[in-house]
Amino acid sequence: MKKLQTSIACSLALLLLAGCSGTSGKDSQSAKQADSASGTTEISYLANSIWEKPIKKVIDEFEKENPNIKVNLQLSPSTKLTETIEIKLASKAQDLDVISVDVPLTMGYAVKGYLEPLDSLIGEDAKQKWIPSATDAGSYQGQLMAAPMNTSSVVLFYNKDLFQQAGIPFPSDQLDYRMTWENVVEVARKLSKDTNGDNQNDVFGFSFDQVGKAYQLISLGQSKNAKLLSDNGLTATGYTNSPEMVSAFQFYSDLFNKEKVSPKIKREEALDYFISGKVAMFLASTQNMPRIQEAGMNFGIAPHPYFAGGKVVTPTGSWHVGISKYSTKKEAAAKFVKYLTLGKGSQIWFNENGALPATLELLDQIDKDPKYNEFPNNIMKLAAGEARETAATRPKTPGYLEWETNVNKAFEDIKNGSDPKKALDDAATLIDSQLKKYQSVVK
């Protein structure tokens, strides 16, 4: 573990200059004395810069209710956030108290010793107050390591105008009447069109939002009962490239290469293809709703598809928050974490950010509030039902970034015509070799 931490710190430390180094003992003591003199404890919170407006509202209200605690908000763009956390915590810096945790990285942070277990700090009963998938994803070896700010779910958006032009009935918005993947392909064939006669579709029946990305695509394998990694998170061969995964990703390949009902585009282009009328059905997270509404589309929503004879599985997981193992202000940090994830702050965060809640209390609120029975607000009720019943987490492994990088490459290659079995076999071999370094730190 020390070798892992040292190598990360040494290779990246220069990127953050002096701000990446740990607080010296003298500086730390000075800070404690200043806190004591003023009667106020200041905690630092490293967060994603795209949350600036909503998270500031949470902090303002927290500080009103806790005048003896000040939250020093530090913002980092999402592209740099994980790197910054690695640098800071690998060097045992004491100038971070609360950190944002992209939930599949929880196990990695835990085995490296970056996170303080939360059970004794926020109460062991806290784990019963979130949906099980969120609690499980944020836990390691039975202890909660990162508390969920919110969760996520994926629904099928569809262009009503294109359905009407093709004379196809709209999909049901009821969970009990979701489409199978086999249905999706059948309908997508009828919706795909070559309108300018160049033998190339310029309207496609279906597209994923996160084309080539594990978050959304692993549900294909999971619907066929695939297990993505071994129980200890260190072996990919026989899991990432299992017969169930190969079958699922042969289907994925066929969407692009045989059926040609899906466009070979980049993830960054996917939403624009849908709102411009180039895609009729669009499988995407609920957080795409504002852009779709702003485009003035005539659209509907339906539940996430599944394979006939398989399980109903939907993507899930989002950002959590944890407390640094090296924080000297853990009790104050825990008050903020509890406020944000379970207290009044969770309601503020939901109101201001609009992400799907992870707390059972807020999900119950969505179920009971009549406004969520009507379109388009019913997207939240649909997503809340999925979060409770069908959500499946990404695999737990200390080497999640290594796993994700390799499977994302495989998914991209499969989209572009590579043989699914070979692509997944190659990915599994690479993943196994890269996960060996964690064998000494995983029990």
First to last CA, the chain: 12
Q: Which CATH class is domain 2-149+319-354?
A: alpha beta
Domain-wise residue ranges, the chain:
2-149+319-354, 154-316+395-438
pLDDT at 17: 35
pLDDT at 5: 47
Note if the bond before 104 is cis, omega within 30 degrees: no
pLDDT at 9: 43
Helix 344-353 with 330-341: angle, nearest 10 deg: 50
pLDDT in tens, the chain (443 residues): 444 444 444 444 433 433 333 333 334 444 443 455 568 999 999 999 999 999 999 999 999 999 999 999 999 998 899 999 999 999 999 999 999 999 999 999 999 999 999 999 999 899 999 999 999 999 999 999 999 999 999 999 999 999 999 999 999 999 999 999 999 999 999 999 987 777 778 899 999 999 999 999 999 999 999 999 999 999 999 999 999 999 999 999 999 999 999 999 999 999 999 999 999 999 999 999 999 999 999 999 999 999 999 999 999 999 999 999 999 999 999 999 999 999 999 999 999 999 999 999 999 999 999 999 999 999 999 999 999 999 999 999 999 999 999 999 999 999 999 999 999 999 999 999 999 999 988 87
pLDDT at 39: 85
**Token reading at 79:** 């592209």
Cα 428 to the center of its chain, rounded Å: 22
DSSP 8-state class, residue 213: -
pLDDT at 35: 57
CB atoms within 10 A of CB 87: 23
Which fold would CATH assign to domain 154-316+395-438? D-Maltodextrin-Binding Protein; domain 2 (3.40.190)
pLDDT at 11: 43
Q: 443 by DSSP, 3-state: which?
A: coil
What pTM, to 2 d.p., does this model score? 0.89
Q: Of 153, 181, 183, 182, which is closest to residue 170 (Cα–Cα)?
A: 183
pLDDT at 37: 54
pLDDT at 104: 97
Helix and strand totals (H; E) in the chain: 19, 13
pLDDT at 79: 86
